[in-house]
Structures are given as C-alpha cells and as structure tokens.
A and B are shown apart, each in its own frame.
Chain A
Amino acid sequence: MMEPIETGAVPIEVLLVEDSPGDVRLTREAFKDAKVHINLHVASDGAEAMEYMGREGKHANAPRPDLILLDLNLPKKDGREVLAELKESPALKSIPVVILTTSASETDIHGSYQHHANCYITKPVDLEGFLKVVKSIDSFWLSMVKLPRVART
C-alpha cells in the first residue's frame, strides 16, 4: 500500500494516527486526488504510533514521517499523550503535527496548542466537508509548506 505512484518525484511520508477504519479509508480516498506523491502510514492507536516513531517491531524499517495527522481520542495511549511525547523529544519535535479529531471542545483546542500542535482541525460531520478538509491539508501542508526534510539513511 506504500507503493510510490509517481516514480520521478520524492514521495512525502505521512503518518495517520487514527483508530477508526472508516476515517482511514475516507482519508485515503481523499488523498487519491492529491497533487503530490504521498506515502500514507497508519497507526491505529497511540501506543503503535510511538512504536512507529521509535522504529520498533514491524516498524523497524519505517521512514521518518514528514507530517503527522493525529486523532485525540485513541485506545491504549491517548492522542494528547502522543502529542506531548513527540513535542518533548528533541529529535521528533520538528515534525509538524496536525490534530484531526471529532472533538470541538475548547479544552482540547487549548491543550493541543499548549503542547505545540501545529494546527487543529475538527472533523466535519458530512462527507463533503471531510473531503474538503483533506484536500486543504494536501494543498497547504503538503504542497505550499516547506517541510523540514531529513536526509534518509
């Protein structure tokens, strides 16, 4: 599933931390029309997300992501903890984190920015809205923004 689509261009590595397979699928659907080549990696809970980042177990050869899409309400390890750990790590804190969650609560919005989330997006409840959001991420974070790329080993 991480096959490059366009061989000529350098693909962008995105880690989606999301427990709902429906949302994973919708996200994947939305990225289909993306302008850039995207490698979408998925962790279905917070614990797995940290294993991925630490290249543990099956993620031993996983590439370092250029952007992380993080849900907050996750099983095992909560998205808020994952955010905090990422932003406290000198090696990982430079990776932009986009919070993508159903929660619209002020507490979550505030708390996320306090922990240096790079932006906060509430998932729209209807399909059109959701597709629009993913497209916006593509056009902004993946196309317009210069991401801090790290030389691959």
Chain B
Amino acid sequence: MKTKSLLNLKVQLAFGAAILTMLAVGTISYRALAVSGELDQWVGHTHEVLENLQKLMLAMQNVESSFRGMVVTGNESYLESYRANFASAEQYELTVRRLTVDNPAQQRQLPALESLSARKVQFNDGVIRLRLAKGFQAAADAMGDGTGTQLMDEFQAVIRSMQDEELRLLALRSVDARRRLDQAKVALVLGTLLGLFAAAFAVWSVQRDSSGRALAAEKLQASEEKYRSLIDGVQDYAIFTLDPGGKVISWNAGAERIKGYKAEEIIGQNFSRFYLQTDVEEGKPEKELHLAATSGRSEIEHWRVRKDGSRFRANVVLTAARDSSGRLLGFSEISRDISERKETEAKYRGLLEAAPDAMVVVNAAGEIVLLNVQAEKQLGYHRDELVGQKVKNIIPEGFAERLIADGTRTAAEALAQQIGTGIELIARRKDGSDFPIEIMLSPLESIEGILVTAAIRDISVRKAAEEHLAQMEGRYRGLLEAAPDAMVVVNRSGEIVLLNVQAEKQFGYRRDELLGQKVKNIIPDGFAERLIADGTRTAAEALAQQIGTGIELRGRRKDGSDFPIEIMLSPLESTEGILVTAAIRDITERKKSEQHLVKTVGELKRSNDDLQQFAYVASHDLQEPLRMIASYTQLLAKRYKGRLDSEADEFIAYAVDGSKRMQGLIQDLLAYSRAGTNGKPLRKISSEAALKEALSNLRAAIQESGALVTHDSLPAITTDDTQLVQVLQNLVGNAIKYRTAEVPRVHVSAAKNGGKELVFSVRDNGLGIDPQYFERIFVLFQRLHGREEFKGTGIGLAICKKLVERLGGRIWVESQPENGSTFYFALPERDGK
C-alpha cells in the first residue's frame, strides 16, 4: 500500500511533471505556431508589396517606351498604350499605398513617388504636344535637356529604395523569427527530454501529448521553409546573414548568382572576402559592421569582388539584428549588382528587337551580354544558353580578336578601326553548322565599360550568288577571252563585273583596276545612260532598243586619251539580274580610213568637176578659131575652085574636110561633157511617152531607112525624162544606122528584173557586134567602122553609158556578128512622186 502509494505518488509526480512539461511544451508550441503564422503573413505581405512595386516600375517603363515610340515615329497609336500604362501605374501606386499603411518609412516615400510619376507624365505630355504641333526636332530638343531621364531615374531609385526597405524589413523579421523559433526549438527539445524523463512511467500519456508537439514542429519547419524559399528564391538580390563577427550564416540563390559562391563554400567564411583587397587593408568591412551595429542600418555603394576575382558595383544594405534585450544577434546584408545587365537589357531591348539583323552585345571580355530574337533564330540557341557565354562559341574566329588590344593600341582603338565596316566572318550554329556572316560593330558606353554591339547578317545567299557569279565568270571567261574585241560585262548600276584581256589592253588598265568600277570611267558618255530607264520605259526596254546595233561612242584610256569605239550590247541573264555584255571595237583605223575616203571622194569630185569644166571650156573656145579655119578654107574653095591648079583644089578639100571633122569632134565632146549636167529633179513619167518622143526625133532616119520600130507596153518610171529620151533615141538610132541590107527591125521592151530594176532592151536585126568589142563600144570616140561606111564620131553609146550611170543604172549589150544586137539598160525603180 505504501509502495503502491509511493508508486502512485511517483506516478502522480511523473504525471504532474509530465503534465507540467506538457503544458510548457504546449505553450512553446502555441507560441511557435503563432510566430510561424505571423511570419507567413509577413512573407505574403512583403511579396505583395514587392510585386506591386515591380509592376509599378514596369508600368512606368512602358509609359516611357510608348512615349519615346510616339516621339520618334510621330505615330499617335502609341498614345493609347501610353495612357493605359499610366492608368495602371496610378492603380499600382494606390495599391502600394494601401499595403504599406502600417509602415511609416514606406508611407514617407509615397508622396515623392507620386510626385515623380506625375511630373514625369506632365513632362511627357508637354513633349508629346510639341511633337504633334512642331514635329520631331522640337520634341527631340525638349527631350534633350535630360529632365525626362532624370525624373525616370529618380522614380526608379525611389522604387528600388522601397523594395530594399521591404526586403530589409523581411530580413529583419526573419532574423527575429528565426531567433524565436530557435528558442522554441531549444525549449521543445528540453521540454521533450524532461517530459520523456518525467513520463518514463507514463509513456502513453506523454506519447499522447507528443502528437500535439509533432504538429507544432511540423508547422514550424513548414514556415521556416516558406520564408527560406522566398529568400532563397530571390535571384536579383544577394541576401545573406552574418553573425556579429561577420561570418556568413545563411546564403541565398541571388547571393550565389551575384557573388559566385555556393552556400556550402561560403557559410562560415568572413564576409570581408567580398571586399577589394585595398578596402580590406583599410579595415572597411569592420567599419561597416560597426556602423550598422551602432546605427542599426548602413547603406553604401561600392566595388565588390566575385569569387572569380571580377569586380562589380554593388549597392549594399547592412542591417543589425538585435533581440528584445538589445543584444546584437548578427547582421543581414542585402546587396544588388547595380551594373547589372538587366538595366542595359531594359534600355536596349526594344532597340535590339527592332533591328532586322541578328544583334549581339558583347563586353570587353568577349562575353555575350545581350542578344535579340533574330540572333536566337539565326544561331539556333535559346537566349539563356548564350548570355554570359563567350562570343567565340558562335563566332569562332575574328570577332573576339578584334576586341582585344595588342601591345600598341587599346581595345577602343582596335575597335574604332572596325566600326562601321562590314567584316565577313563565319558563324557557328548550335548544331555545329557554319554559315557566312557579315558583322558591323559599334561601341556602346556602359557602366561596365565599352560594350560592343554587333549586327550580324547572314550572307549565305549573297555568298552563293557570288559563287555563282564566280562560276559564271569561269564559264564566260573562255568565251570572253576568245573574242577579238574588248569585252566588258556591266551590271545595271553601270559597274564593270567582268572584262577580257583585250579590254585591259585597249583601255590601258589592269583588270583589278576596272572590276567594280563605273563603266563611265572608260566610256564617259552614252553607255551608262543606255542602261538607265527613263520615265516611259524600263531599263530592259531601253536596253532592248540598243541590243545588236553598233553604237559609236568615245572610249577613254587610263592615260586620259580618247579614241573612237563602236560598241555592241547584248543582255546576259544572271542571278544578279540582267547584265550587259558590251563588245567594244577600237575604230580609230576605220574612222581614219573613213575620213580618208571622204576626203578622196571630195578630191575626186573636185577633179571631175574641173575636168568637165575644162572639157566644156576647151571645146567651146577651140570652136572659135576652128570656125575661122573652116569658114575661110570653105570660102577659098568656093571662090577659087578651078582657078588655081588641081593640086591646090585637092589640098583645100583636105583642109575643109579636116576642119569639118574637127568641128564634129568638138561638138560631140561638148555634148558628152554636158550630158546629164543639167539634170532635172526625177519624176514619174511614162517610158512609152519617152520612146514616142525619141522616135519622133528620129522620124527622118526611120522614113529614109524604112525601118520597122515596134515596142511592148512600157511601164511608168521615176527618172529624168529628157535623159531617157536621149538614151532611147541614141540606141534606136544606132539600131537603124548599123543595119544590113534587110529592112531594119527594131523592138523595144522593158521588164522588171527581180530586184529593184527596170531593164529596157532595144533589139535589132542589124550588123551585130563581135563580143570582144562589147566594152570598147561604150568608150568615147571608139568606133568599129570606117568613116566611109558610117558617119559619126563614136559618141552616142558613150553618152548613153554616161546618162544611164548618172541615173544609177547600167548598160550592156548582147550580140553576135551578123545576128543583130540587143542593147540593155537597167534603171533603178524609185518611189516616185
């Protein structure tokens, strides 16, 4: 009984202890749960505030970009987005105000924020009005004073400061919560041990209690994880805690990203390793901890060092954490890389995406800082796969080298030499395939130093075309070189794309001096113009009109001398469009001989005119004295015939005869030299009428000889009627004159001669002519018969030949002795009036 009661007492004591322990543990659990709930709330709240601040900033950035878009383009559709974004910005401002109503520090910042956004919009509205009223230049000038940018910067600074404040509060609260949770943990462990010990005999009851305790511990762990995950999840801020001595206790993902250390590498290490060596030597880390400890918070902007030794500009907020008794528990640090790419990216993103080419921004270390969608597409990478990577990965050769200074010049100078010039390089896609590119570099000042913007153009198509051209060049070169003339192939811009050796020789240039040059350099006038379309026709048409016809132009040699050329153009289809092949012939010699010919013809004509004049004058002037001789010998013969002796009569008779013959010759010569000189304008006449006139002139001869003259129907012809009459008269006259014993029969006809000639024929049944004399009979004063047989000087056919030839025709004879003759003459058919 005593034992029993003792046992009971012990059990009761144990129970009592267990109950007490239970009560204590329960209280601690309850408190832990409360802390966890409170923390939960804070985490959610902070998150909300941060989110709204971020949205506010984004809205304002959108306001800014719509504004700039409108100013640059003048397109009023931007105004819609501008106003909508500003309305949302106002909405976010209200939300932030509501969320931070319990935080006087944040509330104090709000008026500044609202005033800045209002001023910014006022400024923007002013510029927009200027843009609408006075155009781009006025608006640009108004923007140029930097007010807008300054307002925007200040606005962003306030937002950031508010974000920092929220995060600082959160960190502060988490330090506090962690302390309280730690205390709760210790109490729980102690209470549990005590309870286990006390309830050694009442395990079941203690075990029953333990369900409540387990629930509390779970809750605690969950809440701790929640805030940890928030802190850990922050990428843009390095958030970590330090013990009072400056050793790192916790480390988030942002810290890892910004500083390059993993949590396990850095926890337990002193934070002074984030400082520059010089700063450490000056004792700056300690000073800042001291400052934060004494004033509760320190904010500073200075250089920090990453794990890899690279520097970055950081904005650092150190906050001291103390317990309720004021004991220093440690510090939280929130830092931000303010040279962050994010800012650069925000600034240039719009610009980059608008560019038609792939754009990549690279820093001096050859790392890709920024790129646009086109670059992603062209190279086959996702953005994330390229940012931070070496540019060598996508452009293996020739780019990075251009960023690196050699001993004698700085990177800036090296770059300056490349700026604006297209460099042809090879780019490599993610799949390892290569393609030709042309890149244009331009520098971009930034906090990180000079960045390089590279516009990358895929020139595979152009390269292929060039290759095609090269192939074509190969194919045509043989042809070109084989040509006897200088050959030049010109594109539509008038640039020489191909030429042969003869062209080099003719113009005195080397091939490489002409390729790519304007054709105007060697053919100053008349060629390039033929390639250019005017308002009414296309280039192709303009060219088509010239194709195949020789154009006479002037060529210019390298030494500046000119020479006459003839060019023949022909089109040449190519991938570049229609090219023009010009065959160029040096016609200096031809021109010389043409000039020579013209001169010779002129001289001949002059000499011929002189001769004709001479013949006329001579025959006319010879006639006068001859007439005296003839007249007086005849007078002698008349008065003194039979009064002197018979010898005197004979002598006088010879003198009379000689002088008469001479008079005949002179008259014929005069007739011959005159023949055709007083030609009339050609007109359409009836050749039958001409024949009739000729026959009427021959009436006496026809009657005397009893000749039978017949003719076919004769056509109309455009010619000189007097001359045609004379020719017909001479030929019919001859036909009658050189007759046999038979009755003379003469037939005249005319026929078209395939070509453009009318051939007249005069056929007779007369003596006929031996073919050996066919040429001779047309020569002046050439006779086949003695004077005793037939009168005449041998002028008739010579005159016929002269007249027919003056009319552009020809004359010939077909005959056999004893078988009659046929005289033909062909006159050109002209379009008469």
Residues of A within 8 A of B (CB): 20, 22, 26, 29, 102-103, 106, 123, 125-128, 130
Contact = CB atoms under 8 A, between A and B. Distances in A.
Given A29-B635, A102-B623, A126 B630 contact: yes
Interface in B618-636: 620, 623-624, 626-628, 630-632, 634-635
B663 interface: yes
Contacts of B630: 125-127
9 contacts: A22-B631, A102-B620, A102-B624, A123-B627, A125-B623, A125-B630, A125-B667, A126-B630, A127-B632
A22 B620 CA distance: 17
B634 A102 contact: no
A34 B268 CA distance: 170
Contacts of A22: 628, 631-632
A26 B631 contact: yes
Given A22-B632, A127-B632, 18 more contacts: A22-B628, A22-B631, A26-B635, A29-B635, A102-B623, A106-B678, A125-B623, A125-B626, A125-B663, A125-B667, A126-B630, A126-B631, A126-B634, A126-B663, A127-B634, A127-B638, A128-B634, A130-B631
A123 B623 CA distance: 11
A37 to B, nearest CB: 24
B674 to A, nearest CB: 9
State the majority secondary structure of interface residues on B: helix
B211 to A, nearest CB: 155
Contacts of A106: 678
A20 B631 contact: no
Contacts of B624: 20, 102
Contacts of A102: 620, 623-624, 627
Contacts of A123: 627
B660 interface: yes
A96 B332 CA distance: 151
Interface of B: 620, 623-624, 626-628, 630-632, 634-635, 638, 660, 663, 667, 678
Contacts of B660: 126
Nearest to B624: A102
B653 to A, nearest CB: 14
A135 to B, nearest CB: 14
A106 B620 CA distance: 14
Contact of A125 (B627, B632, B638, B678): B627
A68 to B, nearest CB: 21
A103 B545 CA distance: 60
B277 to A, nearest CB: 125
A128 B620 CA distance: 20
Contacts of A125: 623, 626-627, 630, 663, 667
A26 B628 CA distance: 10
Contacts of A128: 634
A16 B620 CA distance: 22
Nearest to B638: A127
The 5 closest A-B pairs by CB, nearest first: A127-B634, A22-B628, A127-B631, A125-B663, A125-B627
B659 to A, nearest CB: 9
A102 B628 CA distance: 12
B464 to A, nearest CB: 83
B744 to A, nearest CB: 30
A20 B627 CA distance: 11
Contacts of B620: 102-103
Nearest to B629: A22
A128 to B, nearest CB: 7
B634 A20 contact: no
A5 to B, nearest CB: 21
A128 B633 CA distance: 12
Nearest to A73: B624
Contacts of A103: 620
Most buried by A among B624, B630, B638, B667: B624
A78 B663 CA distance: 26
Contacts of B634: 126-128
Contacts of B628: 20, 22
A29 B287 CA distance: 163
A22 B626 CA distance: 11
A126 B661 CA distance: 11
A123 B631 CA distance: 11
A128 B638 CA distance: 10
A103 B82 CA distance: 111
Nearest to B670: A104
Nearest to B663: A125
Contacts of A126: 630-631, 634, 660, 663
Contacts of B635: 26, 29, 127
A127 B631 CA distance: 5
B301 to A, nearest CB: 119
Contacts of B627: 102, 123, 125
Contacts of B678: 106
Contacts of B667: 125
B204 to A, nearest CB: 166
A140 B628 CA distance: 26
Nearest to B667: A125
A22 B634 CA distance: 13
B465 to A, nearest CB: 78
A26 to B, nearest CB: 6
Nearest to A124: B627
A130 to B, nearest CB: 6
A23 to B, nearest CB: 8
Contacts of B632: 22, 127
A113 B44 CA distance: 136
A29 B631 CA distance: 12
B627 to A, nearest CB: 5
Contacts of A29: 635
Nearest to A29: B635
A78 to B, nearest CB: 16
Most buried by A among B620, B627, B678: B627
Contacts of B663: 125-126
A134 B1 CA distance: 213
A134 B660 CA distance: 21
A126 B626 CA distance: 10
A8 to B, nearest CB: 30
A128 B660 CA distance: 12
Most buried by B among A20, A22, A26, A29: A22
Nearest to B678: A106
A106 B680 CA distance: 14
A126 B633 CA distance: 10
A100 to B, nearest CB: 13
A66 B371 CA distance: 126
A26 B663 CA distance: 18
A124 to B, nearest CB: 9
Most buried by B among A103, A106, A125, A128: A125
B137 to A, nearest CB: 85
A109 to B, nearest CB: 13
A151 to B, nearest CB: 39
A104 to B, nearest CB: 9
A122 B620 CA distance: 13
Nearest to B664: A125
Most buried by B among A29, A102, A103, A126: A126
A130 B638 CA distance: 14
A29 to B, nearest CB: 7
Contacts of B638: 127
Most buried by A among B624, B626, B631, B663: B631
A123 B620 CA distance: 13
B726 to A, nearest CB: 16
B631 to A, nearest CB: 5
A110 to B, nearest CB: 12
Nearest to A123: B627
A123 B628 CA distance: 12
Contacts of A127: 630-632, 634-635, 638
Nearest to A130: B631
A20 B698 CA distance: 36
A12 B660 CA distance: 35
A106 B674 CA distance: 12
